């Protein structure tokens, strides 16, 4: 795993969206009047804050809670005690500063990685009755919240992935353009890559500087369901895990932070990031204008459903 994606990460609704659903929303026609952007939420600091990732996270959590209750009523309590919880924004990487770590303390503690949140216990069905009940409960939850696979797939798989892909298309050339200055600085601090040309093509510190990887603790549980017809298997939940870097990784990460500051890389990348985000959200104003009100309405219904 590298400190930032060499290719953009794909945003996913885990286990919920099976197919990409095309949206009728599209950018304004060339020559036409630009569509107005919806108002940003209070406290927004970056253009991508317009993307309602926290609301989508909450909607998906509410869907799972309604599903668990519905399935328990149908005689299938397996989802009730899976350790599910409302986590942080699943899409926070869209608005976090790129190219982390950003501080020496963060570099020493985490190297080029960060903590990984836990996940609920997996539920795997080999029971046709369970599957039918699950389909019915999912449909019931969607009616309650006024959501659909189409809405969430369009918002995440189409709009979210477009934002993510397009911003990295603007950021990665800056990394390449400034690579020589950064590598000169790192060399002065005792770190020389195996190949400067290779680093420019794939700036992966572990591979280019031959730095050993650390490990996540505790280890994720290993589990394989027993495939027995007519049964439903429940595995162990994934615990929250923290990354423990090697000493060499921490030293390189600290040097990287210092050099990115000294060479002005952070200043340049943050400027490009803000300007590019603004242009990208303007390019997607029609999608934001169509989809954000639907996502906000669904989040309000989700809060009401859970309170009830």
Question: For the segment 168-193, what is each residue's pLDDT rounded down to a tens digit?
Answer: 999 999 999 999 999 999 999 999 99
Give the pLDDT confidence score for residue 234 in this predicted structure: 97
Please tell me whether the peptide bond between 307 and the residue prior to it is cis, using omega within 30 degrees of 0: no
Q: Name the pTM for this structure.
A: 0.85
Q: What is the pLDDT of residues 221-236, one digit of tens each?
A: 999 999 999 999 999 9
β-pairing, 215-217 vs 242-244, is antiparallel
Kindly tell me if the per-residue pLDDT of 17 is higher than 60.
no
Give strand pairing partners of 234.
123
Burial of 212 (0-12, 13-18, 19+ CB in 10 A): exposed
- Please state, rounded to an integer, the average pLDDT across all residues of the chain: 88
| Residues 133, 139, 142, 148, Cα dihedral to 10° | 130
Q: Which of 16-25, 103-112, 287-296 has the lowest mean pLDDT?
A: 16-25
Structure token pair of residue 75:
């005689």
pLDDT at residue number 25: 39
Q: What is the mean pLDDT of residues 87-101?
A: 92
pLDDT at 87: 85
């Amino acid at each position: 795993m590298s400190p930032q994606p060499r290719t953009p990460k794909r945003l996913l609704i885990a286990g919920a969206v099976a197919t990409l659903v095309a949206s009728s929303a599209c950018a304004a026609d060339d020559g036409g009047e630009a569509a107005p952007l919806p108002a940003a939420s209070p406290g927004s600091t970056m253009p991508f804050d317009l993307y309602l990732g926290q609301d989508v996270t909450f909607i998906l959590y509410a869907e799972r809670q309604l599903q668990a209750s519905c399935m328990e009523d149908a005689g299938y309590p397996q989802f009730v005690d899976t350790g599910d919880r409302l986590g942080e924004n699943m899409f926070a990487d869209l608005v976090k500063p790129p190219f982390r770590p950003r501080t020496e303390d963060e570099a020493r503690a985490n190297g080029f990685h960060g903590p990984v949140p836990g996940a609920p216990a997996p539920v795997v069905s080999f029971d046709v009755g369970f599957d039918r009940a699950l389909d019915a409960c999912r449909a019931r939850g969607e009616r309650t919240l006024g959501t659909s696979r189409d809405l969430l797939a369009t918002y995440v798989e189409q709009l979210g992935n477009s934002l993510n892909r397009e911003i990295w298309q603007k950021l990665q050339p800056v990394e390449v353009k400034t690579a020589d200055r950064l590598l000169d600085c790192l060399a002065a601090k005792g770190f020389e890559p195996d190949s400067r040309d290779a680093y420019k093509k794939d700036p992966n510190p572990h591979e280019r500087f031959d730095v050993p990887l650390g490990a996540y603790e505790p280890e994720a549980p290993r589990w394989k369901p027993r495939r027995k017809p007519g049964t439903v298997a429940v595995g162990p939940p994934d615990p929250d895990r923290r990354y423990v870097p090697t000493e060499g990784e921490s030293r390189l990460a600290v040097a990287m932070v210092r050099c990115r500051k000294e060479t002005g890389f952070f200043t340049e990348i943050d400027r490009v990031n803000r300007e590019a985000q603004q242009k990208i959200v303007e390019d997607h104003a029609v999608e934001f204008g169509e989809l954000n009100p639907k996502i906000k309405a669904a989040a309000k219904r989700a809060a009401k459903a859970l309170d009830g």
